[in-house]
Structure 1
Amino acid sequence: MEILAAGPTTPRAVEMRKTAEKMEAAFLAEMLKGAGLGEMDGEFGGGIGEGQFASLMRHEQAKLMVDAGGIGLAEHLFRAMGDAENA
């Protein structure tokens, strides 16, 4: 995942930014799961194998969404982590 907005480039800030992006990706993956992305019913369903790999596909798609700018959650999480650390 890429670093979002320009800002402090200390190793700690970079680590917090990456963590915030991972959290946003996890959130988006859960939202995609709730929307039914990756599930096929009927004759073309993949059975057990599909169920095992659908979560991997959703997680990769969520990471791509974050890399493309996401929904802004990572930025809010990053700022909250910075505020908590500075308090």
Structure 2
Amino acid sequence: MTITPLQGPVPARIQAEMKTAAQEMEATFLAEMLKSAGVGKTPSEFGGGAGEDQFGSFLRLEQARAMARAGGIGLGEAIFNAMKERGA
């Protein structure tokens, strides 16, 4: 499958979709970094047990999404700009 670049300026609707996709990619990256940093890890004493282990990834992902919406680390913006440049 060949992807052909758009000719001319990228329409606003497509830009909005690209921005959302870039922000979600940044959130996924941040969630993995939070996991590596030990955020959401069940403490050995007074932990939530198996339930906390199972749902910790959801908490990390939502925290990462909130971070990305608040500006994140700039990765989402860089991805968006790259996609926009490639699409134009």
Q: Return the offset for 1:40.
A: 2.3
Aligned residues: 79
Q: Return the offset for 1:9.
A: 6.8
Residue matched to 2:33:
31
**Would you say the 8 A contact 1:39–1:45 is kept in 2?**
no
Aligned: 1:70 with 2:81: no
User: Structure 1 segments of 4 or more deviating over 3 A?
Assistant: none
Q: Return the offset for 1:52.
A: 1.0
| Greater relative CO, 1 or 2 (CA 8 Å, sep 6+) | 2
Which one-letter code corresponds to 2:75 in the other structure?
L
Higher helix share: 1
Q: TM-score, normalised by structure 1?
A: 0.82
Q: Percentage identity across aligned positions?
A: 52
Q: 1:56 aligns with which of 55, 58, 62?
A: 58
Q: Return the offset for 1:63.
A: 0.9
**Would you say the 8 A contact 2:25–2:76 is kept in 1?**
yes
Q: TM-score, normalised by structure 2?
A: 0.81
Which one has a bigger Cα radius of gyration? 2
**Structure 1: stretches of 5+ with no match in the other structure:** 1-7
CA displacement, residues 65-84 of structure 1 (integer Å, 9 cap, x when unaligned)? 11211100011000111122
Q: Distance in 1 between matches of 2:30 and 2:11?
A: 26
Q: Distance in 2 between matches of 1:9 and 1:45?
A: 49
